[in-house]
Amino acid sequence: MEPERATLIVVCAEDAAQPLVEALRTRGVAAQASGRRNLDGAAIASWMVVAGVALKMAPDILRALGELVKQFRVARVEVNLETRSLVIDNPRAVNVDEMVRRFEAAAEELTGDESAAGESVAGDEQSADLRPDA
């Protein structure tokens, strides 16, 4: 994957997986979904939707996701850049908006825009768990 791409991962309920794939596809993103099968033989407990997206497209995709989390049961949204991950557990639309702002700052840093690198947006500590894990 080229450096100007990011990986979007959404952990969700089974009934949300395919609608999310379809919703992302209508926005031009080739997403895939899979249940996770554990060796212990338990019924599938978690599903994930995954897609590689161009950095420039990612904010729009995330904004669209902000709408989708209102409709579907989503446990986690995660965006992975080369060396950083942005994560929200149990997201609400407002958290996704915050993630977009964080993502844009991180992406500008990644693409070498020094003026943007130090720009940070205060997160809502009560509602968003945005964890850079570099």
* 114 near another protein, rule: CB under 8 A: no
- 4, 12, 24, 48: which one contacts another protein (CB under 8 A)? 48
Q: Provide, rounded to whole angstroms, the least separation between the CB of residue 49 and another protein.
A: 9
Order of strands across the sheet that contains 47-54: 32-35, 47-54, 5-12, 74-80, 85-89
* 125 near another protein, rule: CB under 8 A: no
A 10 A CB-CB count for 13 gives: 13
| Residue type (1 letter), 54 | A
* 122 near another protein, rule: CB under 8 A: no
* 41 near another protein, rule: CB under 8 A: yes
- 78, 86, 103, 130: which one contacts another protein (CB under 8 A)? 78
DSSP string computed for 109-129: HHTT-HHHHT------TTT--
